[in-house]
Amino acid sequence: MALKTAEEYVESLRKLDMKIWMFGEKVENYVDNPIIRPSINSVAKIHELAGDERYSDLMTTKSSLTGEVINRFTHLHQSTDDLVRKVQMLRLMGQKTACCFQRCVGMDAINAIDSVTFEIDQKKGTNYHERFRRYVRYVQENDLVVDGAMTDPKGDRSLRPSQQPDPDMYVHVVKQNADGIIVRGAKAHQTGAINSQEICIMPTITMTEEDKDYAVSFALPSDAPGIFYIYGRQSCDTRKLEGSQIDVGNARYGGQEALIIFEDVFVPWERVFMCREYEFSGMLVERFAGYHRQSYGGCKVGVGDVLIGAAAEIARYNGVAKASHIKDKIIEMIHLNETLYCCGIACSSQGHRTASGTYLIDLLLANVCKQNVTRFPYEIARLAEDIAGGLMVTMPSEKDFRHPEIGPYIEKYLKGVASVPTEHRMRMLRLIENLTLGCAAVGYRTESMHGAGSPQAQRIMISRQANLDHKRKLARVIAGIEKED
């Protein structure tokens, strides 16, 4: 059975020759770095739950390629039930980590590439799909973490990739020979990249014939020669260096983003899944985006569950849990959160089989799901901040709280309900701060806006998928202007 334990996953990272920069310095031991380690813990939690019989039905499944039990994050969806279980799994992971657990993009990438390579081969007579299935089998058999890399820096957004003054603003093919291709460029905002053993690259927009060198998809080990990473800053990230569990809010877990640089990187042909087939770039972008927008109906809901729980708990600590307006605010938070979940389940249950056999979500409903995610978490966060009160952002540090001289004053004056220890109140306030304003805000509030594409990207897809002509005809028939078919 190809399943790593959490410990085996962490140890596998130590064997990688990753080139990582952070705060202007090269990171030599990133696995034990206090800023990076919480994000590794989040991915390790996936492996832990996969080995727990209480959660194995969600976290694992039988491979359609090998017949063996695999981690669901490496699975090619074979039914609408698989799509639904994916959303349920992501909600569970959000509940267990209260942050971004970083494996969704890789899962969404392999499913999108699988169906698109099949259709490229049908039209072009290539053998990308066979190559890709071999690759997925390798990932499944070794329980590898895959980073799905789509977003390019883009440079001047008013210009096509081939029109950019600097051609490296989008990842592109610079050379090819009998052995493979050489690529150059960068991928931005890469969630979980340095916690992954594999990097799977896709184009970021629909390409034209003039942009064909940018229509490229491939996969490489994350420590392949020519690849290096620049770690992304997060709000309050250096609190992790202080050794305070209270002040970081989330005592163990965190997310992570990086800028990936590809400096003339060689890719062997067996790892190339698209090379200049620009006609299929839009299909790949659309399908990946659809899968990833579905994901937000699970992961953000799970984190929302934690935030709602924290808001209800701090209301109790503050002595206001029975106030009618507090109850109403928490009900509204639940209503918004469950609405997001409904969208994730709906687009999954309405999915369909593609030509390759993998199942694709309903694209319209997936985009509606993500459009709601760009709004509802902001309101959920606002309500949580309202319930928490101003102390959330004015509270002294843990060092002050532990200080023998001034600590007793904090203990005395930051007391809420007498039966609740002051430290518990401080911990809960820091958790809410972390989820709404701090490091986890990247994986909850801000990522809700920009992850899987901007709000306008979803609105464009909603417009394309809505079949407005059909709706107009329905109105004409009902109004008696036209006869029903």
Binding residue positions: 191
Beta carbons within 8 Å of 218's beta carbon, 6+ residues apart: 181, 183, 200, 201, 267, 271, 272, 273, 274
Under DSSP, is residue 301 helix (H, G, I), strand (E, B) or coil? helix
Which one is catalytic: 104, 343, 347, 369? 104
Exposed / middle / buried, residue 463 (Cβ in 10 Å: 0-12, 13-18, 19+): exposed
Q: Which of these, 447, 442, 42, lies nearest to 252 by C-alpha position?
A: 42
**Cα–Cα distance for residue pair 372/337, rounded to 1 Å:** 10
Q: Are 62 and 3 in contact (CB under 8 A)?
A: no
Which one is catalytic: 296, 317, 359, 444? 296
Amino acid (1-letter code) at residue 6: A
Q: Measure the CA angle with vertex 308, ends 290 and 102; round to 5°.
A: 40
Q: Are 297 and 87 in contact (CB under 8 A)?
A: yes
- Residue 447 a catalytic site member: yes
Which one is catalytic: 299, 343, 347, 439? 299
- Residue 198 a catalytic site member: no
- Residue 343 a catalytic site member: no
Q: Cα separations (Å) of 6 from 48, 49, 199, 439?
A: 5, 9, 20, 23
- Residue 104 a catalytic site member: yes
Other beta carbons within 10 angstroms of residue 53's beta carbon come to: 6
Buried b vs exposed e over 95-107: b needs ≥16 C-beta within 10 Å?
Answer: bbbbbbbbbbbbb
Q: Are 18 and 145 in contact (CB under 8 A)?
A: no
> Residues comprising the binding site for FAD?
191
If you search the block for the tokens 């290539």, which residue do you land on? 126
Torsion of CA 446, 312, 305, 191, to 10 degrees: 30
Which one is catalytic: 47, 77, 189, 292? 292
Q: Cα separations (Å) of 249 from 56, 99, 384, 437?
A: 29, 11, 15, 11
Q: Cα separations (Å) of 185 from 150, 151, 155, 263, 281?
A: 12, 11, 11, 7, 17
Which one is catalytic: 100, 200, 347, 369? 100
**Cα–Cα distance for residue pair 363/22, rounded to 1 Å:** 38
Which one is catalytic: 257, 277, 385, 398? 257
Calculate helix-pair angle for 363-373, 324-349, nearest 10 degrees.
160
Which one is catalytic: 191, 204, 358, 374? 191
- Residue 446 a catalytic site member: no
- Supply the residues annotated as catalytic: 100, 104, 191, 257, 292, 296, 299, 447
